[in-house]
Structure 1
Amino acid sequence: MADQENTTRTYRTSLPWRAFTMITGIVDRVVGWDRLPVPLGLLDLIGLRTRLRQENLHDMSHLPATGTPPVPPLTPDRLVSRSVDGSHNDLTEPAMGMAGSRFGRNIPLDKITPATEDAVLKPSPREISRKLLTRTTFVPATSVNSLVAAWLQFMIRDWFSHGTSPQENPWVVPLADDDTWPDKPMRIMRTPDDPTRPPGASMPQTRVNVLTHWWDGSQIYGVTGEDQGWLRSGEQGKLRVLDNGLLPIPDDPSRDPALVPGFWLGTEMLRTLFTLEHNAICDRLHAEYPSWPDEELFQRARLVTSALLAKIHTVEWTPAVISHPTTKAALRANWFGLAGERVHRLFGRISGSEVVSGIPGGATDHYGVPFGLTEEFVAVYRMHPLVRDTWSLRSAGDDGTILDCEFPDISGANALKVLNSIAMTDLLYSFGTLPPGLVTLHNFPKHLQQFQRPDGHLQDLAATDILRSRELGVPRYNEFRRLLHLPPAGDFRDLTADPEWAEEIRRAYDGDIEQVDLTVGMFAERRPEGFAFSDTAFRIFVLMASRRLNSDRFFTEYYTPRVYSDAGLAWIRDNSMATVLTRHYPGLRPVLATVDNAFAAWEVRA
């Protein structure tokens, strides 16, 4: 550990790296990485990522804590398999990234804004929602399909959750006289307190992630032993699947997934798909290694499935939603290195450098800061505009209409009704041929702006998104950009190229550019070519997309045949989102044959 810390200190302070990051920072400000030829753009992004690693990783775990979750003892099997709660991924700091550990930050701790009434409620998050986010006309992201929206929310259920909000002491949001919201005033539940924070402690606000911070498929496998035990079949490593190909629902009503806020058709479709994929991996491993017992098959298949999810997100989903030539090359380089996939297939890793040979199979590196997902990472993933309001569910065979519906018809308990009445092949075809929304102003789903939770509570998720970032101390747009080494917007016309938007934002924030919320600024700013979301959000991606791989020993030094098996690594190498889809739903093969990326827009069947 000492050697790693010394290496990191050298990395963070060496003169050549400092000079390189200074030069690339100047080029980024003057020209812009997205306006450079691809080779120069890649160099610029490497420099940007290096500076972000040097200056934008901040640890919250070192702050005083009490009553932290107990770390289970290290057992031999945990050395080569993922623990259910995320513990022992880092063998020297076993609590790192486990469920119940704190979120980190990408900003200095003294820049975390205290959650005072004025800081959280002014200007009114409800008025910002009404004036700047309300969808008047659906604006599609035509280069991608709605599996993009489903995938993002499926991934989020693996990465982070602040937990269930307490019912007492909500934020009280006054409403304008002309506001038609039925409950006056509006009440938005608070984010749960950090249970490990010492009472009366004088320190920046902290919150915990009730999920594991690792990219470990916890939305499929659960984060408690009880949940995981219920999901497993107990035979040949497999997960439970009903005879109709769908997933079982617990008898206990309190564990019904349809009662979890945010449960909808898209996420359950993907959970079903990758449960089937886990079982297919088990079949492959059992055929190759017939002596392995149930536990061995399960744990190895979980490793393989989790890595396949990470690969698909890295080299398919993200390049689809930020499809600039430079970012597509950069993201593939995260996995394969600049040497490329062909060299990787023929020769494996040819260098210890992540730039040359990619991150998987390289050295674990936390860059001097214990790993944890960050509140800023959570904030930039607030991309609800991706979700459509209207859905046309159609047949994959002839594109005939099966059901025209609205989002409430495919969310909550209604999602299960649709799953049980329409074939999965047709549902996936429908998602693949419908564009999602563009992440921009005036494009927030109307059904999420007036969303009825399973408990009956009515919620404006647009207002909630604005309030959450303020409540969690995420800086407003201009300060956020400064802290990420970007120039702030000088005025409202500098913020957006649309003069009508500039005037609307000016009025909403009473002429104070410094008060513009992060979400509003990101939705309003100019997007690089091929981007479905903002360049500001991309800066957090540049840092955290690679960090989630760099820090996870199961993606780095434990990404080996001894841990995964030869057959397991081959499965990851040889598969993509398209092969997963067609393996389990072969009726999609004709339409997927026309696209290079399963998240790109599919051609409608004639």
Structure 2
Amino acid sequence: MEINCDQYKDSAYRSADGSCNSLDYPLWGAAVTPQPRYQPAQYDDELNSPRTTGKNGDKLPSTRLISNKLFRAPGDCTETDHARTLMVMAWGQFIDHDIVATPMTQDDSSPIICCGESAQSRPECFTIPIPSDDPHFTHSCMEFVRSASDPCQAGAREQTNEKTSFIDAGVVYGDSVEKWAELADAQTGGLLTSEGELLPAGGGSCKLTNKDDFCPKAGDKRANVVPSLGVTHLMFVREHNRIVQELRKVRPDWDPDTLFQETRKIIGALFQQITYGEFLPSILQEQDLVKYNLKLKRKRFSYSYDSSINPATKNVFNAAAFRFGHSQIPPTMAYVLRDFMTRLRPLPMESTFKDPHMLVTQQGRLVPDLARFIITSNSMKTDSQFEEAVRDHLFEESEGKGLDLGALNVQRGRDHGLPSYNAWRKWCGLPVATSFPDLQDISDNHKNILAELYSDVEDIDVYAGGIAEIPQDGASVGPVFSCIIGQQFKDLKDGDRYWYENRGVEGFSSAQLQEIRKVKLAKIMCENLDVDPIQRDVFHVPSPSNPWETCSSLPGINFSAWRRRGRGRGKP
């Protein structure tokens, strides 16, 4: 497909769909393009059939069986992470939705049913067998529809990414000019809101349990999955509108479109800064931040852009490695009052799924209490132990029937033809096991479980092996996921012409960049969610080294850096 990138050669602003970021390869990282791979797919027939057969021709174990033995916490009680807050899980999900959405196969825009009385005999069905002695489910078949294949890709089956791969705040604005038009106020350059300065109504994929509630609409259709995700969406819509007002004061000459674009550019920069400056240091070791060039500069510009790097999010990252956060999902969501002690109305996580009530009730008056819960509550430990709600209840439609997120993750890897765990150990330059006792970075207990499940060590699924690894010191994940996540975020940074630290029209002036560098996520929460006091690092629990501070003590952007300077260019 021929794409003319002339208008983006010297443009200060990204395209909506991510095209023309690379002037040599215009579709790299663009929305609705195939997900590239770090290693070739391993399908049973080398072209299309999911990976279901092991090294010796044995059938791979049911992914529900894997979940029952490997992901089920003893006594259904998972461990909490004493250092990190729920914001690690919330931001990970938010940024994931910014850079990837893999569509499932659909039939004329309606879902395909693969289990039960209405089951359809379709090649897109790849159902999960449920053991007869399953501890929870009473049915024998778990729904699973294959990811849609890219219709334009010759050769082996490839999956599509509907989002731009770039960390560009597409989750806030959408990834098309049509979505921009739907969400933006053309008269002001701001984003549309509803009463209480909440997200606008009209979103899809939402259940309403209260007659006064509504389904919020955002730049991504998954905004209502869980309340922590919804509140993060809301925070950045409000931050966009706040910045528009600030820019209007220093640039009264700008029209609404310029205000929208310049604010979108600043929001995108804040996304990148928070992700690399706060989120990644909370899940990766310092040495991996250095190894993969993920550390931000404190002064001056970055010159790391490499036009030969394809920044697009890779298949194994999307379908396996970055799903580690599913083990961090907490058992409940609640409100925390201003005394930071009182918790109100705790709800089982499964009851909040796709229900925006906690966010929209009372015109959003309880949003600050929800935000306090997220930044003061401990995250769950990243390990192979999943909350019972995630395994058995989160997607439940009726008693004894539902979906298991851990099993779905392993099944998705097979659907996408992801090579085995050992293949990724080798790709990462890590020691490769020749037997189950030979597995490194995995506890003896998990080695025994894997040996019980799989016929050969070469058969272990990458998600199962990766999530079973012991987290590295100071990190949330083990060596394999650290490697894949580190390499992917290196690609996203070094392959992005519009990376916010870069010099040139695509970036910011030196003064503007220094203003942006002042901002932490805590300040954005202060400005938009009425959380005061707050700890400076919201990804870690308050402590003597991370104490509560007043919002006024946290630095923010001085927008005078955006004032027009003499006869210089009209758009800083």
Listed as ranges, the matches of 1:97-496 within 5 Å are 97-108=29-40, 115-116=48-49, 119=52, 122-135=60-73, 136-166=76-106, 167=112, 168=122, 169-179=124-134, 180-197=136-153, 201=154, 203-250=155-202, 260=222, 263-322=225-284, 324-327=285-288, 334-336=295-297, 341=298, 344=299, 348-349=300-301, 360=302, 362=303, 364-367=305-308, 369-378=309-318, 379-383=320-324, 384-415=326-357, 420=362, 423-452=366-395, 458-495=402-439
Query: Is the CA contact 1:232–1:238 (under 8 Å) kept in the aligned structure 2?
Result: yes
Residue 392 of structure 1 deviates from its aligned partner by: 3.9
Query: Is the CA contact 2:353–2:394 (under 8 Å) kept in the aligned structure 1?
Result: no
Q: TM-score normalised to the size of structure 1?
A: 0.76
Residue 144 of structure 1 deviates from its aligned partner by: 0.5
Residue 372 of structure 1 deviates from its aligned partner by: 1.7
Deviations 1:531-586 (A, max 9, x none): 11111111122322122111111117964468545675344222111211122234
Question: RMSD value over aligned CA atoms?
Answer: 3.2
- Separation of aligned partners in 2, 1:119 and 1:576: 45
**Alignment correspondent of 2:465:** 521
Residue 315 of structure 1 deviates from its aligned partner by: 1.1
Residue 115 of structure 1 deviates from its aligned partner by: 4.9
**Alignment correspondent of 2:117:** none
Query: Is the CA contact 1:261–1:454 (under 8 Å) kept in the aligned structure 2?
Result: no
Deviations 1:259-312 (A, max 9, x none): 849711111111111111222222232222110101111111111111111111
**1:88 paired residue among 16, 20, 34:** 20
- Find the residue that maps to 2:345 and give its secondary structure: strand
**Measured at CA, do residues 144 and 84 of structure 1 come closer, stay the same or move farther in structure 2, by a change above 3 Å?**
same
Residue 151 of structure 1 deviates from its aligned partner by: 0.5
Q: Between 134-143 and 427-436, report the one with greater CA deviation.
A: 134-143
**1:587 paired residue among 531, 547, 563:** 531
**Measured at CA, do residues 531 and 73 of structure 1 come closer, stay the same or move farther in structure 2, by a change above 3 Å?**
closer
- Separation of aligned partners in 2, 1:262 and 1:184: 30
Residue 118 of structure 1 deviates from its aligned partner by: 5.8
Query: Is the CA contact 2:334–2:346 (under 8 Å) kept in the aligned structure 1?
Result: yes
Residue 231 of structure 1 deviates from its aligned partner by: 0.9
Matched, 1:506 2:451: yes
**1:534 paired residue among 478, 489, 514:** 478
Q: Between 574-583 and 463-472, report the one with greater CA deviation.
A: 574-583
- Separation of aligned partners in 1, 2:138 and 2:42: 39
Residue 364 of structure 1 deviates from its aligned partner by: 2.7
Query: Is the CA contact 1:97–1:212 (under 8 Å) kept in the aligned structure 2?
Result: yes
Residue 80 of structure 1 deviates from its aligned partner by: 2.0
- Separation of aligned partners in 2, 1:586 and 1:413: 23
- Separation of aligned partners in 1, 2:357 and 2:433: 42
Deviations 1:151-208 (A, max 9, x none): 11111111011113331441133332212424432231111111223xxx4x222121
- Separation of aligned partners in 1, 2:254 and 2:156: 49
- Separation of aligned partners in 1, 2:229 and 2:20: 28
Q: Between 238-247 and 310-319, report the one with greater CA deviation.
A: 238-247
- Separation of aligned partners in 2, 1:231 and 1:485: 45
Query: Is the CA contact 2:226–2:352 (under 8 Å) kept in the aligned structure 1?
Result: yes
Query: Is the CA contact 2:454–2:460 (under 8 Å) kept in the aligned structure 1?
Result: yes
- Separation of aligned partners in 1, 2:387 and 2:78: 9
Q: TM-score normalised to the size of structure 2?
A: 0.80
- The residue type paired with residue 155 of structure 1 is I
**Measured at CA, do residues 281 and 567 of structure 1 come closer, stay the same or move farther in structure 2, by a change above 3 Å?**
farther
- Separation of aligned partners in 1, 2:29 and 2:61: 35
- The residue type paired with residue 140 of structure 1 is T
- Find the residue that maps to 1:405 and give its secondary structure: strand
Residue 416 of structure 1 deviates from its aligned partner by: 5.3
Residue 395 of structure 1 deviates from its aligned partner by: 0.7
- Separation of aligned partners in 2, 1:333 and 1:252: 36
**Measured at CA, do residues 536 and 111 of structure 1 come closer, stay the same or move farther in structure 2, by a change above 3 Å?**
farther
- Find the residue that maps to 2:127 and give its secondary structure: strand
- Separation of aligned partners in 2, 1:305 and 1:297: 12
- Find the residue that maps to 2:346 and give its secondary structure: strand
- The residue type paired with residue 345 of structure 2 is L
- Separation of aligned partners in 2, 1:148 and 1:586: 20
- The residue type paired with residue 176 of structure 1 is P
- Find the residue that maps to 1:104 and give its secondary structure: coil
Question: Of Structure 1 and Structure 2, which has the larger fraction of its residues in helix?
Answer: 1
Aligned residue pairs total 506
- The residue type paired with residue 29 of structure 2 is G
- Separation of aligned partners in 2, 1:452 and 1:79: 44
**Alignment correspondent of 2:554:** none
- The residue type paired with residue 177 of structure 1 is S
**Measured at CA, do residues 89 and 325 of structure 1 come closer, stay the same or move farther in structure 2, by a change above 3 Å?**
closer
Q: Between 123-132 and 276-285, report the one with greater CA deviation.
A: 276-285
**Measured at CA, do residues 536 and 223 of structure 1 come closer, stay the same or move farther in structure 2, by a change above 3 Å?**
same
Query: Is the CA contact 1:145–1:436 (under 8 Å) kept in the aligned structure 2?
Result: yes
**Alignment correspondent of 2:566:** none
Listed as ranges, the matches of 1:26-37 within 5 Å are none
Residue 471 of structure 1 deviates from its aligned partner by: 1.4
Query: Is the CA contact 1:549–1:556 (under 8 Å) kept in the aligned structure 2?
Result: no
Percent of aligned pairs sharing the same letter: 21
- The residue type paired with residue 22 of structure 2 is D
- Find the residue that maps to 1:382 and give its secondary structure: helix
**Measured at CA, do residues 540 and 447 of structure 1 come closer, stay the same or move farther in structure 2, by a change above 3 Å?**
closer
- Separation of aligned partners in 2, 1:467 and 1:235: 47
- Find the residue that maps to 1:402 and give its secondary structure: strand
Query: Is the CA contact 1:144–1:436 (under 8 Å) kept in the aligned structure 2?
Result: yes
**Structure 1 unmatched runs, 5+:** 1-67, 350-359
**Measured at CA, do residues 237 and 410 of structure 1 come closer, stay the same or move farther in structure 2, by a change above 3 Å?**
same
Query: Is the CA contact 1:300–1:568 (under 8 Å) kept in the aligned structure 2?
Result: no
Query: Is the CA contact 1:394–1:403 (under 8 Å) kept in the aligned structure 2?
Result: no
- Separation of aligned partners in 1, 2:416 and 2:389: 25
- The residue type paired with residue 28 of structure 2 is M
**Measured at CA, do residues 288 and 194 of structure 1 come closer, stay the same or move farther in structure 2, by a change above 3 Å?**
same
Query: Is the CA contact 1:238–1:279 (under 8 Å) kept in the aligned structure 2?
Result: yes
Listed as ranges, the matches of 1:59-78 within 5 Å are 71=3, 74-75=6-7
- The residue type paired with residue 601 of structure 1 is V
